[in-house]
Structure 1
Amino acid sequence: MSTTQDSATESASTVSARLRGWPLVATISALFTTLLMAAIDGSIVDTATPRIIADLHGFSLYSWLVTIYLLASTTTIPIAGTLSDLFGRKWFLIGGVLIFLLGSMLAGTSHSMIELIIFRGVQGMGSGILQTMTLVLVADIFPPKERARWLGLFSAVIIIASIIGPLAGGWITDHLGWRWIFYVNIPLGVCSLVLTSLWLPRTFLAEKATQSIREKLRRIDFIGALTIAGTIICLLLVLTWGSELSSWNSPQILGLFVATVLLFLLFCYTESHVQDPILPFSIFKNQSFSAGALLSLLLGMVLFAIVVYLPLFMQAVQGQSPTSSGAVMTPLTFTVAILSILTGSIIAKIGRYKSIAIIGAVVLATGVFLMTQMAPTTTSFEITRDVFLIGIGLGILMPLVNLATQNALPRQLLGVGTSAVTFLRSMGSTVATAVLGTIINTVSSLEISNHLPNAARHLPAAFLKAATDKQVLTSTAYRQSIV
């Protein structure tokens, strides 16, 4: 065992021995509360988003509420762990909670989509810190032989949050208003702050300081994080403004497209030359890893395409309530959670996973195909059936991706490879949400105009513009105002 591993094990044993009784209970409770808060916020907004864009008149910016959160969280995660090595876990965790709560309070008071998008980005930064710190602190507190059991419990928290998030978001939106999906974070955050401040030890460091702060800071891939964030932001602007203004050949859109390409090339150059890249390209020389990473990218696209846009279809097209659309989403998260656990147990017993992966891919493809056949007359039972099949496919494939990619790499690259797969899954989710948002914006603009009755085409220009505004899909008040 290496010196770093020895010191980490010794540190965990020492901390575990010191944290007993109520201090240990309080610390674990703080971490559970923190992770629950961050995990729920990733799904609680989805069923409320159609109501939000109806109130804030932001149909064309629909995808930004999700993509900005994912982007901020994704770019923060790889940096948060390294910075906590330098400055300690406790104050970094407290800072993450404060950032998250600030974003939540400001998001709840938003009066425009632009404000809400900015504040969701602040929330995403806090969420990236919280997700990293809670899992790292488990390794700090417990020695390796106890760590797996606690990591399993923390994984259960994420699963529970994924299940109750859509339901809670729909219920809160229907009964209290969408702003309260952000305000509910405040009591959880305050509880986490109190417990963390009083009982979490101040001296958590993952390893002994063998390098100066300047040397460690140089190893952090800040340029990689900034360039990939800039790439995605420019791409989002191209997709949003191009579809909204129908001006794909305008100088602004072409300039943003060039900036997207240049930033992506700079990201590729940076990742090839820095010591600790966010996405090391050398590991893609392994074909098995490359296949698993590509599958992870695709799974991220499928998952968020369903989670983000199915509630919009059910509320805007079928006229269902946020609570109803949230209830239909429950089979997806529940099935993914259960199948992920069962798949891991089955593979552990039989030692094979290729045939299981093929079964999962077939089931997933079947569910996605059935969902492409949805229409305004599609029943809730049919949607639930399709969601259930997609949940089975995702539940089978998601743990297989991690297993296949980890088995394809040598032990010294496990951490890097796992981080890369997680990073690609997040990037897939972000890009898919943006691309689908562009398609929906473009198609809905054309289809609303094409389905107007002939008599309406002779209305004055102002009335015709109001009748074809995409807000008519989500806002009952707007529809009544133009009748």
Structure 2
Amino acid sequence: MNSTNTQNNLIKHYKLILSGLIISLLIVAIDSTITTTAMPKIIASLGGLKYYVWPFTIYLTTVIISAMLSGKLTDFYGSKKILIVALMVFIVGSVLCGFSKNMGELILFRALQGLGAGIIVTVPKKIIAEMFPPRQRGKYMGLFGVAGGISTVVGPTLGGFITDFLGWQWIFFVNVPIGIITLSLIIPYLPELGVIVKDKIIDYNGLITFTVALTSFLAALTFSQQSTVAPIYVELLWLVSLIMLAGFIYAEKTAKEPVLPLYLFKNSVFTVSTVSVFLLGAITLAGTVYIPVFLQLVQGMGPQISGLFLTPLMFSMIVTAILSGQIISKTGTYKKLAIVSFATGALGMFLLSTLTPSTTNLELIIYELITGIGAGLAMPIFMIAVQNAVSKRDLGVVTSSSMYFEQLGSVIGLAVLGSIMNTTLNYNLQNSTANMASTLLVTALHNVFIAALIMNLLGFVICFFLKDIYMSNEFNE
């Protein structure tokens, strides 16, 4: 298809294409949260309680790996082909998960699902950069925040509903018709975009060292929270992870087509944005994970009601993500918006750190709205910034790298925040500083939200070093 026909096809069908991209992001976003409420019944059906955490851990591992590789894959074969293959892998993985007969099979098939999911969450953002010049990307990239916001509330609630009325298998089977609808929008209407690299050199050394480093790291994080695993094995995993990380850095320095070109870190916009999305990955979880903990264990709400109480957070995230993208497209700047987003997020986390058993529902709703505004404003900013700061040649790799560091921030952030909560609870119990369960939990939650507040303040400071590069209505070469 020549460039004129490609452009005409985009103009004629861009709404259908955008719908397909948003739906693809939505099913993956919901899939990452829908299993949380279903897992107890899955364990009851398949057994393997000691492997409870592994369907989540292996899924995150393969999501991060495939997200990292997606940039190079789209450079080699084109964004459309890779997205279609990823959707098919995700659909097949979902079917196999639903037919799992034991926990081992479920873990294996969740890994397959994750391979598709990591590409799906990344490639649509590159496609937007291929479809539209920098100045126009914001208003479309902001729409992608809808998927993340909706999944926050809908995922756990939908998971509980489907599990209760249809069976846990259907939390996976439901992906099939939605995935087919997505393919029906992508295959006929999305043209092949971007420059396809003819010299397909795969960085096997980087791929292997990266995979082993990440797997060892996540396994060490998981086992460090389990008293049944001997500390020596955890320490060995940390050591393997560090050695493989060093090997990965060496491999990237010497590779002809590295998975993560280290020269990108010489670009200050890329470096600042990478640190920022890493922090955001951790910060977002503080609200979505620990507000329900407060509602259920301190205020005594049920799981479904506590899930619905996240609606203000979701609503403000969605609205401000769309608004943020519109502002960037209209003004052509993003630095001030990034600073405001972290400042607002810091205020939200400070307010959440003041929660007590007597906090009213209205107060909590206000705190959630402020927190959601901070997170929503930030959603489109840093992807737009890094894509605007590089040439077309590096578009794929900066998109995949940004998603990789955001996912990694979520994983590490979840472990760090969980460790803070557990350490606080254990310390208070051992020293008898509190004699009521709710008081112990409130103290632990205070520390979790204060940690998230510190992350926001760090992001606030870092964003002063973010360069505002002019956003053109023409494509970067």
Q: Which has the larger radius of gyration?
A: 1
TM superposition shift of 1:76: 1.1
How does 1:246-261 map onto structure 2 within 5 Å? 249-250=231-232, 252-261=233-242
Letter in 2 for 1:257: W
Deviation at 1:262, TM superposition (A): 0.7
1:388 paired residue number: 369
Please report how far the alpha carbon of residue 73 of structure 1 lies from its aligned counterpart in structure 2 after TM superposition.
2.1
How many pairs were matched up?
Answer: 430
Q: What's the offset of the Cα at 1:298? A: 0.9
Supply the distance in 2 between the matched residues of 1:235 and 1:319 (Cα, whole angstroms): 35
Q: How does 1:74-473 map to 2 (within 5 A)?
A: 74-84=64-74, 86=76, 92-109=82-99, 115-134=105-124, 148=136, 152=139, 156=143, 158-177=144-163, 179=168, 180-193=170-183, 199=188, 204=192, 206-207=194-195, 211=198, 215-216=199-200, 218=201, 220-245=202-227, 249-250=231-232, 252-287=233-268, 289-315=270-296, 318-346=299-327, 356-375=337-356, 378-402=359-383, 405=386, 416-439=397-420
Classify the secondary structure of the residue corresponding to 2:2. Answer: helix
1:408-448 CA deviation, whole Å, 9 max, x = no partner? Answer: 66787565445433322221112212333455566667878
Q: Which amino acid aligns with 1:337?
A: I
Cα distance in 1 for partners of 2:90, 2:192 equals 22
How far 1:43 moved relative to its partner?
4.3
Confirm whether residue 13 of structure 1 aligns to residue 30 of structure 2. Answer: no
SS in 1 for 2:309: helix
The Cα of 1:57 is off from its aligned counterpart by: 8.2
Measure the CA separation in 1 of the matches of 2:273 and 2:20. 35
Compared CA separation, residues 424 and 86, structure 1 to 2 (3 A): closer
1:131, distance to aligned residue in structure 2 (A) = 3.8
**1:344–1:241 Cα change, 3 Å:** closer
Q: Residues 404 and 31 (structure 1 numbering): CA distance in 2 closer, same or farther, change over 3 Å?
A: closer
Q: Which amino acid aligns with 1:236?
A: L
State the alpha-carbon separation in 1 of the partners of residues 288 and 42 from structure 2. 16
| Letter paired with 1:253 | V
Q: Give the distance between the partners of 1:161 and 1:398, measured in 2 at CA.
A: 11
- Report if aligned partners of 2:217, 2:238 keep a CA contact under 8 Å in 1: yes
Q: C-alpha displacement at 1:239, in angstroms?
A: 2.5
Change (3 A) 1:417 1:167: closer
Distance in 2 separating the partners of 1:340 and 1:25:
19
Which digits, 9 at most, give the CA deviation of each residue in 1:52-104, with x for residues without a partner? Answer: 67888888867655554333223213434544555566664443223212322
Report the CA distance between 1:237 and its aligned residue.
1.9
Distance 1:61 1:342 in 2: 42
Distance (whole Å) between structure 2 residues aligned to residue 410 and residue 426 of structure 1: 24
Instruction: Quickly say closer, same or farther: Cα 1:105–1:311, change in 2 above 3 A.
Output: farther
Instruction: Letter of the 1:227 partner, please give it.
Output: T
Read off the aligned partner of 2:163 and give its amino acid letter: G
8 Å Cα contact 2:139-2:328 kept in structure 1: no
Q: Residues of 2 paired with 1:124 and 1:159: CA distance?
A: 20
CA pair 386-57 structure 1, distance change in 2 beyond 3 A: farther
Instruction: Please state how far the C-alpha of 1:138 moved relative to its aligned partner.
Output: 6.4
Structure 2 residue runs of 5 or longer lacking an equivalent are 436-477
CA contact (8 A) 1:46 1:307 kept: no
Q: Tell me: CA distance 1:80–1:405, structure 2 relative to 1, closer, same or farther (3 Å).
A: closer
Q: What secondary structure, in the 3-state scheme, does the structure 1 residue paired with 2:226 have? A: helix
Question: Secondary structure of the residue that 1:279 maps to in structure 2?
Answer: coil
Of the structure 1 ranges 407-416 and 287-296, higher mean CA displacement relative to structure 2 is found in 407-416
Residue type matched to 1:13 in 2?
T
Percent identical among aligned pairs is: 34
Is the CA contact 1:362–1:393 (under 8 Å) kept in the aligned structure 2? yes
For residues 235 and 449 of structure 1, the distance between their equivalents in structure 2, rounded to whole angstroms, comes to: 30
